[in-house]
């Protein structure tokens, strides 16, 4: 006899109701991916330092022309609300108080990965492509490199590049350029 496993897909609204009724604790390290509540990996010190460096580098570079958002939600669609490590967003007077940013607001998303490299590469990057996020960087701390994904089309990025120490990476849309060594520390 085979057993049918049925999964329940949650919407972003369901996800927020779970917090309201106490099924999920506010501030719990989870995100909504493909309608599933996914527990995020703990943040190690190297990961935290990289995110802090990116925040400083990006904020200094974009000034008041954009908003640098760290580990905050981006609502991709009805069933996906990840919390990328860094998002460079179009400037808005309310700093997105009225609603979380959506794909048209995003100039650049960055995921920093040490223990989650394959998950980020195989699940989150394609998710961002399907949502039409123009550019994503995956900072791979396990191999000291930055992967650049651009030009989303048909559920994947048409342009990819891997930059190592000694090289630089730039985002025309976000208007910034940094050395990989600066990102990695």
| Residue 172 maps to a domain | yes
| Residue 5 maps to a domain | no
- The CATH number covering residue 122 comes to 3.90.1570.10
Predicted pLDDT at 173: 84
| Residue 33 maps to a domain | no
| Residue 109 maps to a domain | yes
Strand order in the sheet with 145-153: 66-70, 86-90, 106-113, 135-140, 145-153, 156-164
**First and final C-alpha spacing in the chain:** 55
Owning domain of residue 137: 41-184
Rounded-to-integer distance, Cα 68 and Cα 85, Å: 10
SS (H, E, C) the chain: CCCCCCCCCCCHHHHHHHHHCCCCCCCCCEEEECCEEEECCCCCHHHHHHHHHHHHHHHHHHCCCEEEEECCCCCCECCEECCCCEEEEECCCCCCCCCCCCHHHEEEEEEEECCCHHHHHHHHHHHHHHHCCCEEEEEECCCCEEEEEEEEECCEEEEEEEEECCCEEEECCCCEEEEHHHHHC
Q: How many distinct structural domains can be found in the chain?
A: 1
| Residue 101 maps to a domain | yes
What residues in the chain have per-residue pLDDT under 50? none
| Prediction pTM value | 0.93
| Residue 79 maps to a domain | yes
| Residue 32 maps to a domain | no
| Residue 49 maps to a domain | yes
């Amino acid at each position: 006899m085979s057993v049918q496993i049925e999964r329940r897909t949650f919407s972003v609204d369901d996800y927020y109701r779970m917090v309201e009724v106490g099924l999920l604790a506010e501030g719990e390290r989870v995100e909504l991916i493909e309608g599933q509540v996914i527990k995020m990996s703990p943040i190690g010190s190297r990961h935290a330092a990289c995110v802090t460096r990116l925040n400083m580098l990006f904020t200094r570079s974009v000034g008041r022309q954009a908003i640098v958002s760290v580990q905050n939600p981006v609502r991709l669609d009805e069933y996906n609300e990840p919390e990328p490590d860094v998002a460079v967003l179009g400037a808005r007077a309310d700093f997105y108080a009225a609603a979380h940013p959506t794909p048209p607001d995003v100039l650049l998303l960055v995921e920093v990965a040490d223990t989650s490299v394959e998950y980020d590469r195989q699940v989150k990057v394609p998710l961002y492509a399907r949502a039409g996020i123009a550019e994503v960087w995956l900072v791979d701390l396990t191999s000291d490199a930055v992967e650049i994904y651009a030009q989303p089309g048909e559920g994947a990025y048409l342009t990819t590049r891997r930059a190592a120490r000694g090289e630089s990476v730039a985002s025309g849309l976000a208007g910034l350029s940094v050395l990989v060594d600066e990102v990695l520390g």
